[in-house]
Structure 1
Amino acid sequence: MNYKKTVCAAGMALLSHAAFADSYLLNELSQWPQIESSQRSGISLYGAVDMGFNYQSVSGTSRWQTQSGGVHTSQFGLFGREDLGGGLKAEFNLESGFMANTGTFGTSNTLFDRAAWVGLNSASWGVVRFGLQPTANLPQFIDPFGEVTTNSVVTWLAGGAVQTPRGVGYNADLGPGSSQILVRESNSMTWTTPRVAGFGATFMYAFNGTNGVSPYASNQGVVASWTNGSLYLAGAYNRVWSSPVEIEGTSQTVRNDIYGVSAIYDVGSYVLSAAFAQVAPNLAANGIARSYLVGATLPWGRNALRASVVYRDTSGVRDAAGNPAKDSALGMMFGYDYSLSKRTSLYARAGFIRNYGISTVILNSNPLPLQTGTASPELGTTPLTASVGIYHLF
């Protein structure tokens, strides 16, 4: 599952406020290659190489492995900007993820799987972009671990990565057609407004790209935010349509209404964050999932301690026999970073997800063991993960 978010839109909102200049997040984001490249004209090459060693365990089964992307998705990208005069600029971004431990593409047979868009940037009326780009959702840095697809319980638990006999699906325990906001959308158009008095918003419309599938949209979304320097508030609403599924003998898409609100408080010496999100499939027999997140980062000198706690609860969910069932999970992640330089850091991560009732959320791509003689995953499991690694940004 590809759930890594990008930081550029929300990061730029923070960077636009001089009052935030001494904050921890601003200093951290300003060093990220994507942000730095987007500040200058011409064409810039940027990227990250992140490698580590990872331990995973669930129900007595454990393994060690090398791991790419423990903090930053290993990637390379091109960002280009031309000044057209009168406050208008043309921009493009091409970005590809890869596995640093094998050298393979992050997505098979796809060169630019993380960004492929072109647009216009105006100081007067905002930014318009067309192509593969981030969705209109809450910012990635609400999670102290950046919602990577490895060492983040937010990615897997708040994202609803549920294992079923048919595989892992977003919020698959809620019923047929249940989905989630994708990290990025192909065939999409966005407009980001200028930021006025701390307020700004991004609107998205993404086409499904499939002939004969109604509606034409795969995602319609908006995220609005406000910041005064130390406080950053955001709210998002998205309509996401599933791929066609069989429901009562007919093939149809299911609309998912997804709401979220978040807050970040950053005074430099510490960062606190909190968020709430709800996924509600627009199908009478389906359940609803709600997730709650709190996070904290404590930096000092070259060091930083991080922690996050996520709780996912559902209502209206039924077990395999059709009976109402308890379905919830609690996740925690802890981390430590040591900066060797502006570009290079060492890190350590450890966390778990505790599944209750019929919940079968996985962690760090590690599949749950199956019940004897079936394709159904075991219930009541607690997947664990721990990693150490190094990353370099360029």
Structure 2
Amino acid sequence: MKQRFSNNKRACVLAAALLATHGAAHADGGVFQALSPGFYPGVVPGTSDAFNIYGTVDVFYDHLTSGGQSVNRVLSGGAWTSKFGFFGRENLGGGTAVSFVLEAGFNANNGTVGQSGTLFNRQSTVALSNAAWGSLSVGKQFGVGLQLFVDPFLANGKISPWAFLSGVADLGKGASSVESRVNNSAIYTSPTIAGFSTQVLYALKTDQSEPGPATQNRGINVTYHPVTGNNSIYVVGGYNQTWCDPTSGDPSSATCTDSTTRTDSYATALVYDMGRYVFSGSYQLFDPKHDGDYLASVYSLGSSATIGRNLLRASLVYRHTTQDGNHAIGAALGEDYFLSKRTALYVRASLIKNGPNSAQTIDYTTGSPPPKPGVTVTDLAVGMYHNF
């Protein structure tokens, strides 16, 4: 069973603004300074001409136990997705720039592509931007829910409990959520005014002959980001309407079947950044409108800290649905030990404890024990990554 992740996880443009701000506000050693090499070069806004080839290679050993069954394997992407990409930007004058991103995921443990039949499965986007009026980007790109950094593990689709417990696959046939990357989408990002910035998204379904509206996703995200001294607060709110897009090419789409019914997703979060210490909390509500479908609420707390060469992370997540017994709690602890600014060894320990009618799991892939209601799932990952 493929998990379907909500893209509360993912607003790269706003993450870019955060990273740019903290590059100036904090000395090396802060949490976001440690994370920044894993993002694509254009994550920091600018207008200068540029062309970069970038990426990540991440391989880890994984030990998963679910309901008394265990499996050992070598996998890719336990901290950062293994990827390569191309970023380019041209200055058009007058503070206006055009840029593009082409990004492909792959499995570093065996060299295979990240998504069969698709090369640039992670991003394929062109954008026009100006500091005075904002930016417009079109293509396949991150959605407009909560940003990645709300989860200390950056909503990693392998071992982050926040990513797995934010799924909607068990809520009914009408349940859908923002795809991990939204196809056929346009996003307008406003300039920051008095600490506020906004993103608005509109995306079409891949197959226009599908029943229901032509829209696959429309949403809005508002972030308030005041800076006080060396500390920063981020207050984020997002609202998305989605419809199932079963021919989008994303394997997670297989979990939704009704393309006529809308799902409303609400999300809010607060992130407090002290440089070397970051604390976060979030709430999400998934509300499918199909008769008989269930609602799900997801609550999270997270923290990160840098101590010398170490980046320490922790998260606690609780998921509750309106189906009796369908609830789960997840937790994760992690450490990255940096050999350099771009290379680290890491360890992750994750757990999901399911209620009697909940079958959430961690890092479900070929060879994993089948998800079963009521079981406790634990995962230990030890790996290494290099960002280039």
Q: TM-score, normalised by structure 2?
A: 0.88
- Structure 2 unaligned spans of 5+: 247-256
Decide whether the 8 Å contact of 1:270 with 1:296 is kept in 2: yes
User: What's the offset of the Cα at 1:20?
Assistant: 3.7
Structure 2 counterpart of 1:210, which letter?
D
Show the 5 A alignment for 1:1-394. 1=3, 3=5, 6=10, 8-17=12-21, 20-22=25-27, 24-35=30-41, 39=46, 41-157=49-165, 159-160=166-167, 171-213=168-210, 214-229=212-227, 230-243=232-245, 253-315=260-322, 317=323, 325-365=324-364, 378-394=372-388
* Change in 2 beyond 3 A, CA 1:105/1:369: closer
Tell me the amino acid that sits aligned with residue 153 of structure 2. F
Further displaced range: 206-215 or 253-262? 206-215
Identify if the C-alpha distance between structure 1 residues 369 and 28 changes in structure 2 by more than 3 Å, giving closer, same or farther. Answer: closer
Q: Give me the whole-angstrom Cα distance separating, in 2, the residues matched to 1:289 and 1:62.
A: 29
SS in 2 for 1:280: strand
**SS of structure 2 residue aligned to 1:383:** strand
Residues 277 and 266 (structure 1), Cα distance of their counterparts in 2 relative to 1, 3 Å cut: same
For the residues of structure 1 that align with 2:35 and 2:79, how far apart are their CA atoms?
Answer: 13
Deviations 1:112-140 (A, max 9, x none): 00011112111111110111011111001
- Kept in 1, the 8 Å contact 2:206–2:245? The answer is no
**Structure 2: how far apart are the matches of 1:156 and 1:72?**
16
Stretch moving more, 281-290 or 79-88: 281-290
Deviations along 1:153-175, one digit per CA (max 9) or x if unpaired, are 11111x22xxxxxxxxxx23322
Which letter does structure 2 place at the counterpart of 1:154? W
Superposed CA offset, 1:50-105 (max 9, x none):
01111011112111111110100000011110000011111111000000011111
* Conserved 8 A contact 2:135-2:190: yes
Cα contact 1:335–1:348 (8 A) shared by 2: yes
Question: Which residue number corresponds to residue 254 of structure 2?
Answer: none
Contact 2:16–2:43 (Cα < 8 Å) also in 1: no
Measure the CA separation in 2 of the matches of 1:37 and 1:9: 7
How much has 1:313 moved relative to structure 2?
Answer: 0.2
Structure 1 residues 357-381: Cα deviation after superposition (integer angstroms, max 9, x where no partner): 21111211158756xxxxxx53210
Distance 1:334 1:358, change over 3 A: same
AA aligned opposite 1:217: T
Q: Which whole-Å CA distance do the structure 2 matches of 1:350 and 1:139 have between them?
A: 23
How many percent of aligned residue pairs carry the same amino acid? Answer: 38
* Aligned pairs, number: 365
Distance 1:369 1:67 in 2: 16
Change (3 A) 1:179 1:98: same
Cα distance in 1 for residues equivalent to 2:335 and 2:50: 36
Indicate how the Cα distance of structure 1 residues 114 and 365 shifts in structure 2: closer, same or farther if over 3 A, else same: same
TM-superposed CA distance for 1:299, in Å, is 1.4
For 1:306, the aligned partner's letter is: R
Q: Report the CA distance between 1:33 and its aligned residue.
A: 4.3
What TM-score do the two structures reach when normalised by structure 1? 0.87
Shift of 1:282: 1.1
SS at match of 1:15: helix
For 1:17, the aligned partner's letter is T
**Distance of 1:287 and 1:198 partners within structure 2:** 36
CA–CA distance in structure 1, aligned partners of residues 155 and 205 of structure 2: 25
Aligned partner of 1:168 in structure 2 is none
Distance 1:36 1:126, change over 3 A: closer
Give the secondary structure class of the aligned counterpart of 2:17: helix
CA contact (8 A) 2:10 2:146 kept: no
**Larger Cα Rg: Structure 1 or Structure 2?**
1
In structure 2, C-alpha distance between the alignment counterparts of 1:180 and 1:296, rounded to whole Å: 26
Counterpart contact for 1:225–1:235, Cα < 8 Å: yes
Report if the CA contact (8 A) 1:47-1:76 is conserved. Answer: yes
Rounded Cα–Cα distance in structure 1 between residues aligned with 2:275 and 2:258: 52
CA separation in 2, counterparts of 1:83 and 1:272?
A: 37
Equivalent residue letter for 2:53: L
Q: Which residue of 1 aligns with 2:253?
A: none
Separation (CA, whole Å) in 2 of partners of 1:199 and 1:126: 12
Over aligned residues, Cα RMSD in angstroms?
2.2
Deviates more, 1:177-186 or 1:16-25: 16-25
